[in-house]
Structure 1
Amino acid sequence: MSVAAIPDVSLVDNSEQRTPLVLVLDCSGSMGGAPIDQLNAGLKLLEQQLKSDVIAAKRVRVLVIEYGGMDDAQVVGDWCDAMDFTAPELAANGTTPTGAAVELALQEIEDEKARFRAAGVAYTRPWLFLMSDGNPTDGWETSAQRCREDEEKNRVAVFPIGVGDADIAVLGQFSRNGERGVKRLQGLQFQELFLWLSASMRVVSNSTPGGQVQLPSTDTWSLAPV
């Protein structure tokens, strides 16, 4: 049975247009302690903010992919509308299989778009939010190339976020804009980052598919380029 043939009750009950958001989150051992704690607090804030907006709650579709635990990448829960999203409690351990995580995210996006089309639900360009605090420990180049190609074809919007000692040059390989497309987090300002993400989702979810939007400033959480 194809992915599109698998019914999704939420798409039947709610025919509003959707904005898919995949959070690809680094949970490797180096994120232990304060970083993972602040990341979890940021996810809870994102949940609250999206649920508090009547339109975003119905239109934003969320999926979390963690990579690092058991040296692998895995989906945490299922795709769900923001109104049904519960922030997971992530733990830090393992290595940094960024390539596997991005490949999984891109496939999940394509599968979700197939379900939208089967249900007759309109959607705006999906977001792939990629966060890392280090270097990939797997073969990542092929996934990075696919990511750039999909972004060039407007299949996805990629937002690479560097935390701590993240290699900005490598993260830039996942964006069609290269290093210019990467944002570096100031310290551990995860809550400010997720406030920006929720505000951006509210803007995008109110937009017309294919239309242009003006996103909020990243100055509250992003370091200026060096």
Structure 2
Amino acid sequence: MTDARANPHPDSPDGLDAVDLFEGNPERRCPVLLVLDTSASMEGDPIAQVNEGLAQFERQLKVDALASLRVELAIVTFGGHVRVVDPKTGQILAAADADAATAFATVDGFVPPTLIAAGNTPMGEAVCTALGLLRGRKDLY
């Protein structure tokens, strides 16, 4: 016998309902998914510039009142392997461990990661992962 309290939304595989995702903030959402090259060719100044760009992007979004309510951020990286950044902690996760319900965060909950460069450049796989996350997020809306 299953406990209905264990998953309040049994039709949703992750137990989340779109209403839960938008509680307290009824603004229309705009998913923004950055696909970033973290391959070995980005070592040194290039990856430092990407990291500074992420920090600046976050700062600019936080001072824009409307964007801070509407934009939902996610990051997919590719350098050796395709990874998804946990937007609330900045931790780098295997792409297989990510899903559309948790891969995105509103600006107020976003923690920009510190990226490092290493490995080859699986760009095609990264784009496919990103598209899958965007499709999944759209389904939650």
Decide: shared fold, TM above 0.5: yes
Counterpart among 68, 80, 85 of residue 110 in structure 2? 85
- For 1:27, the aligned partner's letter is T
Matched, 1:45 2:53: no
Deviations 1:38-68 (A, max 9, x none): 1100100000000011110000010011111
- Give the deviation of 1:72 after TM superposition: 1.2
Counterpart among 68, 86, 93 of residue 57 in structure 1? 68
Counterpart among 111, 119, 132 of residue 107 in structure 1? 132
In the alignment, the residues of structure 2 paired with residue 105 and residue 13 of structure 1 have an alpha-carbon distance, to the nearest angstrom, of 27
Aligned length: 114
In the alignment, the residues of structure 1 paired with residue 13 and residue 104 of structure 2 have an alpha-carbon distance, to the nearest angstrom, of 13
- Unmatched tracts of structure 1, length 5 or more: 117-226
1:204 aligned residue: none
In the alignment, the residues of structure 2 paired with residue 80 and residue 73 of structure 1 have an alpha-carbon distance, to the nearest angstrom, of 19
Which structure has more RCO (C-alpha within 8 Å, separation ≥ 6)?
Answer: 2
Structure 2 SS opposite 1:104: helix
Structure 2 SS opposite 1:12: coil
User: Which of structure 1's runs of 4+ aligned residues deviate more than 3 A?
Assistant: 1-5, 7-10
In the alignment, the residues of structure 2 paired with residue 58 and residue 23 of structure 1 have an alpha-carbon distance, to the nearest angstrom, of 18
- For 2:63, the aligned partner's letter is S
Assess, with a 3 A threshold, how the Cα gap between structure 1 residues 10 and 52 changes in structure 2: closer, same or farther: farther
Superposition RMSD on alpha carbons, in Å? 1.6
In the alignment, the residues of structure 2 paired with residue 4 and residue 115 of structure 1 have an alpha-carbon distance, to the nearest angstrom, of 11
- For 1:75, the aligned partner's letter is V
Q: TM-score, normalised by structure 1?
A: 0.48
**Percent of residue pairs identical:** 38
Counterpart among 77, 88, 111 of residue 66 in structure 1? 77
Does the 8 Å CA contact 1:4/1:111 hold for their aligned counterparts? no
Q: How does 1:1-226 map to 2 (within 5 A)?
A: 2=12, 6-7=16-17, 9-68=20-79, 71-77=80-86, 78-116=103-141
